[in-house]
Structures are given as C-alpha cells and as structure tokens.
Structure 1
Amino acid sequence: MTSAPPPTHRTGGGRTGRPRSADADRAILAATREALVELGWSKLTMGDVAARAGVAKTTLYRRWAGKSELVVDAVAALFDEHLELPDRGSLGADVEGVVLQFAALLERPETKTALMAVVAESTRDDALRDRIRSAIVDRQKTLVLVGRERAQARGELPAEPDASAAARNADLIFDVIAGAVVHRTLVSAEPVDAEWARAFTALLVGGLTAAAAGYTDPAA
C-alpha cells in the first residue's frame, strides 16, 4: 500500500486539544527506527526517541503507551510506505514483484531489528500480538485481496464458491508468502534474489491453480 497515513494510536481517552501533527508522527517513527538500529531493543527508551525527534517525552506518551506499541507502529509505517502491488499484467508477475519488495524491506536494518524484537516480545504479551496483527498483518493482507481480484478478473483464477472460502484462501496465501520470505530472510539468512523469487512464485501459482480446480465459479 502506498501513501498511507501513519498508523492510528491511542488518543488519551478522548481528550481534546490541538490536532495531531502528521509531521511530528513521522519524525517520531523515523527516530524510533534510527534508535533501534543504533541502540538495539534493550537500550531503546522513550526518552531517547523523544530527544531524537525533537519532541517532549509527554508527547510520545500521549500517542503510545510504551515502546512496544511505538516500535510496532514504526514498523507498520515502513510496510505501508514500501510495499505496493502495481498491476504487472499477470498473477505470477504480481507475486514475484511483491516477494522481492518484501524481502528488500526485511533486509533493511531498522525493519529487521524492530520486527524480530516485537515478535519476540509478543510471545508473552497478548495485547502486543493483537497490535501487530491489526497494524501490520491485517493491513498488508489487502495486497493479497487486490492481487487475487486482479487474477480473477484476468481469468487466471476462478472466484471462490463462497465468502468463507475466499477469506480462508486469502489467509493461506498471505501466510505462505509472508512465512516463506520471513523465514528465508530472517531465520535462514539466505538471499531472496530474482531466481529464488521466480521459483517460489512458480510453486505458489501452480498450487493456486491446482487448488482452484477443486471448485468452480458459481456464476459460471
């Protein structure tokens, strides 16, 4: 998705006051990513981020309850800015393009540090896990929905027989792409280059085509 606004945060219980500054939000999120790369998760503090962004620490706490929420939103902003799905003319080209974009994003030091840190923290924090899901995962699933609709419009894939199947398939496609790229990039530390992206795309598209043979378009 491109040109997305910064992720929404808590607003302090509905208090009134001056409107939120988009420029301040961007400065804070950029300072958070910078501090993560330089200091690491354990040494990162809200005070350090405030100083780097040129705002009062109270400004941060009016927007975020703590550094976990702040880091999730800093990562979410990167995903919104750098992942997109322009129409490349075919399902395979669309998948291959977004795989390479995603891998390049994960190779950025600030993304790698932040994502691994918040995922580790979320294993013992259900609220943080929910925030990761809503701020990052659910927002990026829209790319799957867009890509699938295009493929169906081109006749590359049939429509699912019902809404339940459509939702289930969207989740599976997202999980396969995100899981494979995250594992190869962050766990195995192997490159996601053009050759790997082509092989992965061929496997995924072949699987989608085979799965589509198991149901027919109800409108046909």
Structure 2
Amino acid sequence: MLSHSHPKPLRTGRPRSAAADEAILEATRASLVDLGWSKLTMSDVATRAGVAKTTLYRRWAGKNELVVDAVAVLFDELELPDLGSLSADVQAVVLQFAALLERPETQTALMAVVAESTRDEALRARIRSAIVDRQKRLVLLGRERAQARGELPYEKSPESAARNADLIFDVIAGAVVHRTLVSAEPVDATWARSFTSLLLLGLGGVET
C-alpha cells in the first residue's frame, strides 16, 4: 500500500512581534528627542527597546526607514470624526492634527526626517508613501461624506478627483504644520474655525 507523505510547510522566518515593533518605534522617538538625528544610532535604539540590534535590521534596513516608520505610526492615530457637516469634521481633524504636532516626540521626529530628506531622495519618497499618502485617507473620507450629504459636488473625472484631494491635503497639512512648527502659534478652536471658513468658502467667506 502506497503511503502519501504530505510536504512540510515552508518556514517563513520568525514571526514579527507587534510588542517588539511598538517598543522599537517608541525607543526611536525617545532617542530622537534625547540625542537628535545626527547622534541617534541603531545600537542606541536597540538598547532602549531591550532587543538585539539584529532584530532591528531584520525589520528596517537603516536609520532612515526606522525613523520614518516611527513618525508614521503617530500620524496613523489621526481619525476623522463624523460630526454631521464638513465644516465640523474639518475643524475636529485640524485640532487633532495640531495636538499631535505639539507632542515633543512628533515635533522632533518630523522635523528631523524632513530636514534629512532634503538631501536624500529615497528618504523623501519613503515619507511620501509612509506618511503623506497614508494620511490622504482622511481627505478622501471627508470628501466622500460631504458629497453624500450634498455639501460638495462630485468630480467629473478620476483625474480631477485625485488632483483636488492632493490640493486639499496640501492646504490643510501645510497650514497646520506651518502654524504649529514654524510660527509656533496656537491652533485653537477659534483659529480652526477661521481656517475652515477660508478653506470651504474662500476669501469672500472670511469673517471681517
């Protein structure tokens, strides 16, 4: 009687630990705050996280990729609430975004990777894919809700829809980042309300 042996499953390597990843990314942000970009090393992050340096290199090729991911998970915390109107939704996410930027670890990490990316095209591309493109989900969701409510018209083509989404994201993100990190001015409810009016109504709709 012939026996049929079943092939053994291929080993795909040791599974990643979510807890280890979280500890590594948190240690990366802490190292940036304490040491700055130039002095931060993979060894220091591994020591702070309580893992072997080889563990880091199995997950990230180098410091650039590690730091971008450490920043990206912070921005993944952003959520767009459904408050019943586009104006209320925008104001809420603006305040949420500003609060995130006020955290020391966010400020240090974001400023560090942006500064370094001016000399590194690969790093700039990683920032776009890991942070910018992922956070455009908020714009897409907000526009979808507003269109369903009848607050915004539907675009005539996918190309114009994508172009408009990019523009909206750039305006909101650029204004909040500049206000918080460059001008060092508060983003409070009054500012968020005025900014949202300008965004949705244009210059003619701004209160005087």
Indicate conservation of the 8 Å contact 2:46/2:53, yes or no: yes
For residues 127-180 of structure 1, the C-alpha deviation after alignment (integer angstroms, 9 at most, x for no partner) is 100100000000000100000000000000110111111001000000000000
Tell me whether 1:167 sits opposite 2:159 in the alignment.
Answer: no
Deviations along 1:57-85, whole A, 9 cap, x unmatched? 0111111111111110000001112x100
Partner of 1:138: 133
Q: Identify the residue that residue 80 of structure 1 maps to in structure 2.
A: 76
How far is the alpha carbon of 1:37 from its aligned partner? Answer: 1.2
CA–CA distance in structure 1, aligned partners of residues 12 and 115 of structure 2: 35
How far off its partner does 1:42 sit? 1.7
Structure with max Cα Rg: 2
- 1:86 aligned counterpart, secondary structure: coil
Unmatched runs of 5 consecutive residues or more in structure 1: 1-14, 211-220
Q: In the alignment, is the contact (CA less than 8 A) between 2:81 and 2:93 conserved in 1? A: no
Query: Runs of 4+ in structure 1 displaced over 4 angstroms?
Result: none
Distance 2:198 2:28 in 1: 37
CA distance in 1, matches of 2:123, 2:35: 21
Q: What TM-score does the superposition give when structure 2 sets the normalisation length?
A: 0.90
Structure 2: distance between partners of 1:144 and 1:70: 26
The one-letter amino acid of 1:28's match is I
1:16-66 deviation line (CA, Å, top 9, x unaligned) = 311111111011001111111122212211111101111000111111111
Correspondence for 1:129 among 124, 129, 133? 124
Aligned to 1:104: 99
Residue in structure 2 matching 1:118, options 107, 113, 118:
113
Q: Are positions 1:206 and 2:201 aligned together?
A: yes
- The residue that corresponds to 2:50 in the other structure is 54
Which of 9, 13, 20 aligns to 1:24? It is 20
Deviates more, 1:141-150 or 1:33-42: 33-42
Task: List gaps (5 residues or longer) in structure 2.
Answer: 1-10
How many residue pairs are counted as aligned between the two chains? 195
In 2, distance between residues paired with 1:96 and 1:69?
32
Instruction: Provide the TM-score with structure 1 as the length reference.
Output: 0.86
**What fraction of aligned residue pairs are identical, expressed as a percent?**
84
Q: Quote the residue 2:66 is aligned against.
A: 70
Letter in 2 for 1:187: V
